[in-house]
């Protein structure tokens, strides 16, 4: 079976022919990239380029086809509307002329699927780092669930905004990579919220640093160190949340050698496998469209001509993944052990205490790593105790050593919430978050792995032990733990981000996420501020994949 793929979401007019009897890496790809004379991508000029270039690249691909075409696949979105419409029109015309099925492919799902198929992994976590997008996904129960995403702009576009400020031509990412080779580290913002991240603050700080006379090579070096460490940390948090030990990289920014180095080093440090496709399958290309188109065709996922409109805001979690089985869902249940490796620490579990050690992360620059480990250790101790004072069940903090990144806690609960999800426990989390928000701070990373459930350990205080033994409803409790990403704030959006992070973790680890999310939000509405839920709806509706 031979599939003709056509890509044209933004800058690359591309066509490919994939023969399903061959390895995907052998697909013929012809690409004609749009290069703006100055600044970033101009939608009208990009669409004009598509109109001119698509016929040429399609003709070149068809000339290489060793036999008839059995289907036409095209990038249906996300992307620039004028470009998508040009490609959609071409695909419909070709499918009609050849009298073959038409397949509409989500561009971002194609980025991760080409890596998954080439890697041979069973069910990896997927990090997509491209121009207009940045997100972490895992497959669960028929869809790719968004475990984390950018809250403002895509990683490639963020780098482009900085280089446009310098007057450098598009694309900016390779130029930042080149300049960074001679740079030294300077302090820039680092923003991770659970498994979400934000690039706007660091880009503004980078522009200011350059304008204030910091050498451009130092700013570029530090941009890479911070931005890519943020992506790598979030990818590790997703591995920890789901229990996966496989990571796949996708997207054009994935061509950056420093990003690949960080991801490989992180995976090696935690005993996970990492795969990055060859560069031609990382940048926008029709090969990935053809390969995924073939999978969708086998699953019977085709389009009628009159129902094949493009979607500039086509999110990957909107795609019904009919080519994979539910048995491939990414979340894995792991039994409790005496030593647990989390996203940023190892946890030794004793009979009555838990010792948490934030070990150095070799993928991060030493100055950045030292700062994060120290600051997060201090905040975790402070906010864990503060939440307890607000009536939220948390472990008692027995000892803290910021220099070593070590904390000793009371042992609480019997298992992670991930392995003991019920509507009542989801409601508990809603009430607990409402309580700390009312006190003026956020948890920062309230995932189903950072909540403990079940009986508490052996309380050291006799009065607490007597209360626990005598009161059944206090013997089985829901505890918030791991406040390392928390901070004080009075911003409703920060509170909404706590809710957003918890909802994403339900999507990635629960079979009945919708019902659990409803219970969680209902409890928050009863105990907290409705304005925060309104802000949550705004966060969820931003449609970052465009």
339-540: what CATH class?
mainly alpha
Mean of the pLDDT values across residues 205-220? Answer: 98
Region 180-204: mean pLDDT is: 95
SS (HEC) of 245-270: CEEEEECHHHHCHHHHHHHHHHHHHH
Strands, E, within 269-382: which ranges? 273-275, 339-341, 346-349, 353-357
Query: What is the C-alpha separation between 382 and 390, in angstroms, rounded?
Result: 13
113-144 confidence digits (pLDDT tens): 999 999 999 899 999 999 888 999 999 989 99
Tokens of 437: 């928000």
Question: 544 pLDDT exceeds 60?
Answer: no
The model's pLDDT over 418-439, given as tens digits with 9 standing for 90+, comes to 999 999 999 999 999 999 999 9
Q: How far is CA 399 from CA 43, 177, 246, 306, 360, in A?
A: 57, 42, 35, 66, 20
Question: 84 near 9, Cβ under 8 Å?
Answer: yes
Query: Taking 50 as the threshold, does the pLDDT of residue 394 lie above it?
Result: yes
According to CATH, the superfamily of the domain at 2-111+282-320 is ATPase, nucleotide binding domain (3.30.420.40)
- 258 pLDDT above the threshold of 70: yes
Which pLDDT score, from 0 to 100, does residue 468 have?
Answer: 44
Instruction: Examine the residue annotation and report whether 445 is marked as an active-site residue of this protein.
Output: yes
Quick one: average pLDDT of 467-481?
A: 65
Q: What is the pLDDT of residue 342?
A: 85
* Strands 346-349 and 339-341, sheet pairing: antiparallel
Report which of 147, 115, 148, 107 is spatially closest to residue 131, judged by C-alpha positions: 107
CA–CA dist 426, 451 (Å, integer) = 10
pLDDT for the residue 331? 59
Distance CA 354, CA 236 (A): 22
Cβ atoms within 10 Å of 73's Cβ, excluding its own:
33
Task: Write the burial class of residue 177 (CB in 10 Å: 0-12 exposed, 13-18 middle, 19+ buried).
Answer: buried
Question: CB-side exposure of 247: number of CA atoms within 13 Å?
Answer: 31
Which helix (DSSP H) or strand (DSSP E) does residue 117 occupy? helix 107-119
Side-by-side strand order, sheet with 451-454: 415-416, 451-454, 477-480
d(C-alpha 64, C-alpha 423), whole Å: 56
Q: Look at residue 456 in the predicted model and tell me its pLDDT.
A: 59
Q: Give the predicted TM-score (pTM) of the model.
A: 0.92
CB 538, CB 530: distance < 8 Å: no
pLDDT at 374 over 80: yes
- What's residue 340's pLDDT? 85
Where are the chain's structural domains? 2-111+282-320, 115-276, 339-540
Sign of torsion over alpha carbons 309, 315, 317, 321:
positive
Q: Which of 72, 9, 60, 95 is nearest to 294 (CA)?
A: 72
Architecture of domain 115-276: 2-Layer Sandwich (3.30)
Q: Which of 196, 218, 317, 445 is catalytic?
A: 445
CA distance 179 to 69: 45
Helix, strand, or coil (residue 462):
helix
pLDDT digits (tens, 9 = 90+) for 63-85: 999 899 999 999 999 999 999 99
Asked if domains 115-276 and 339-540 share a fold, the reply is no
Residue 39: predicted pLDDT:
65
Residue whose pair of structure tokens reads 């009208």 in the numeric block: 44
In the predicted structure, residue 318 carries a pLDDT above the cut 90: yes
Check the CA dihedral 303-308-312-318 and report its sign. Answer: negative
Q: What is the mean pLDDT of the chain?
A: 92
**Strands, sheet with 353-357, edge to edge from the N-terminal-most edge strand:** 339-341, 346-349, 353-357, 406-410, 397-401
DSSP notation for 131-195: SS-EEEEEEETTEEEEEEEBSSS-HHHHHHHHHHHHTPPSP-HHHHHHHHTT---------EETT
Whether residue 347 is predicted with pLDDT greater than 90 in this model: the reply is: yes
447 three-state secondary structure:
coil
């Amino acid at each position: 079976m031979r599939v003709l793929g056509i890509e044209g979401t933004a800058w690359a007019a591309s066509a490919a022919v994939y023969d399903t009897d061959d390895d995907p890496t052998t697909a013929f790809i012809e690409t004609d990239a749009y290069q703006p004379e100055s600044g970033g991508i101009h939608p009208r000029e990009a669409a004009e380029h598509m109109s001119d270039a698509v016929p040429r690249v399609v003709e070149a691909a068809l000339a290489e086809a060793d036999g008839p075409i059995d289907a036409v696949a095209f990038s249906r979105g996300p992307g620039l509307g004028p470009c998508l419409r040009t490609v959609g029109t071409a695909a419909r015309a070709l499918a009609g002329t050849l009298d073959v099925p038409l397949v509409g492919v989500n561009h971002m799902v194609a980025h991760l699927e080409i890596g998954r198929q080439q890697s041979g992994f069973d069910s990896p976590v997927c990090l997509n780092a491209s121009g207009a997008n940045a997100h972490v996904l895992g497959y669960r129960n028929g869809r790719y669930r968004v475990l984390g995403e950018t809250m403002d702009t895509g990683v490639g576009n963020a780098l482009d905004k900085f280089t446009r400020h310098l007057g450098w031509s598009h694309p900016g990412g390779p130029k930042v990579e080149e300049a960074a080779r001679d740079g030294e580290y300077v302090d820039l913002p680092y923003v991770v919220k659970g498994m979400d991240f934000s690039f706007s603050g660091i880009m503004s700080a980078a522009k200011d640093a350059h304008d204030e006379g910091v050498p451009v090579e130092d700013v570029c070096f530090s941009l890479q160190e911070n931005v890519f460490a943020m992506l790598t940390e979030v990818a590790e948090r997703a591995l920890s949340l789901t229990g996966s030990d496989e990571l796949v990289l996708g997207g054009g920014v994935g061509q950056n050698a420093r990003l690949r180095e960080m991801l490989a080093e992180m995976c090696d440090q935690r005993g996970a496998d990492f795969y990055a496709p060859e560069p031609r399958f990382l940048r926008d290309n029709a090969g990935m469209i053809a390969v995924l188109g073939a999978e969708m065709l086998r699953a019977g996922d085709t389009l009628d001509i009159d129902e094949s409109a493009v979607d500039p805001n086509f999110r990957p979690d909107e795609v019904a993944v009919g080519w994979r089985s539910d048995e491939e869902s990414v979340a894995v249940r792991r039994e409790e052990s005496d030593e647990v490796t989390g996203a940023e620490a190892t946890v030794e579990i004793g009979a009555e205490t838990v010792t948490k050690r934030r070990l150095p992360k070799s993928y991060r620059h030493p100055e950045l790593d030292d700062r994060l480990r120290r600051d997060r250790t201090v905040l975790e101790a402070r906010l864990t105790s503060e939440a307890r004072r607000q009536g939220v069940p948390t472990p008692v903090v027995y000892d803290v050593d910021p220099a070593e990144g070590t904390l000793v806690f009371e042992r609480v609960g019997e298992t992670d919430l991930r392995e003991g999800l019920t509507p009542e426990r989801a409601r508990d989390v809603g009430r607990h978050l409402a309580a700390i928000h009312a006190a003026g701070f956020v948890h920062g990373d309230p995932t189903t792995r950072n909540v403990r459930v079940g009986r508490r350990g052996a309380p050291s205080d006799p009065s607490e032990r007597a209360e626990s033994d005598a009161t059944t409803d206090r013997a089985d409790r829901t505890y918030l733990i791991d406040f390392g990403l928390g901070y004080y704030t009075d911003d409703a959006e920060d509170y909404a981000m706590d809710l957003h992070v918890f909802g994403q973790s339900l999507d990635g680890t629960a079979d009945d996420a919708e019902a659990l999310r409803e219970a969680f939000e209902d409890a928050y509405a009863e105990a907290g501020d409705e304005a925060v839920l309104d802000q949550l709806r705004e966060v969820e509706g931003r449609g970052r994949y465009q």
